[in-house]
Amino acid sequence: MTEAVKDLKDLGDAVSEEKATETETVKAEPKKDEFGRSYGTGRRKDAVARVWIKPGKGNVTVNGRDQSVYFARPTQRLVINQPFIQTKRANEFDVICTVKGGGLSGQAGAVRHGISRALVNFEPELRGLLKEAGMLTRDSRMVERKKVGLHKARRKKQWAKR
């Protein structure tokens, strides 16, 4: 009886060692297409961005136009370049993206999210840096709906005492 218990314990130890070695050896591999590009989808408010990155000189093309033409405000261009600044990869990648829906601010946030995801697909070891900076998390804040009887979502009619 005791020998059977010992055999079961030995068998259990061998199985747990196998599982430990299997989980340690799994590493994320870069995901690239036949042209050497990595893809990422970004979302923010109602905007959806499809982003491809490839090694290059730092050119960013949004819907067929340069980023300085499409995003006229410097703050929007800064938002787009945050993943590259955070990972110290500025001017190392060319970005080609198409973005639909929402306004310019939401589109800039969507492009940033897409660039972050594409960077992780290109270099999986950057995931920790981008995750810590909060760039891989989809910003779930949406516009609050207008309520019946109010002017806007929360704006009430003006009240006069007399």
Length of the chain: 162
pLDDT for the residue numbered 25: 58
Instruction: Dig out the tokens for 136 from the structure.
Output: 């891989």
* Cα angle 41, 98, 94; round to 5: 85
Domains and CATH numbers, the chain: 38-133 (3.30.230.10)
- Give the pLDDT of residue 22: 55
Residue whose token pair is 């079961």: 8
Residue 12: pLDDT over 90: no
Q: How many whole angstroms separate alpha carbon 131 and alpha carbon 116?
A: 9
Helix runs in 31-156, H state only: 67-70, 74-86, 104-122, 127-133
**Euclidean distance between CA atoms 17 and 60, whole angstroms:** 48
Tens-digit pLDDT profile for residues 90-120: 999 999 999 999 999 999 999 999 999 999 9
The stretch 74-100 carries a mean pLDDT of 95
Per-residue pLDDT tens over the stretch 25-73: 578 899 999 999 999 999 999 999 999 999 999 999 999 999 999 999 9
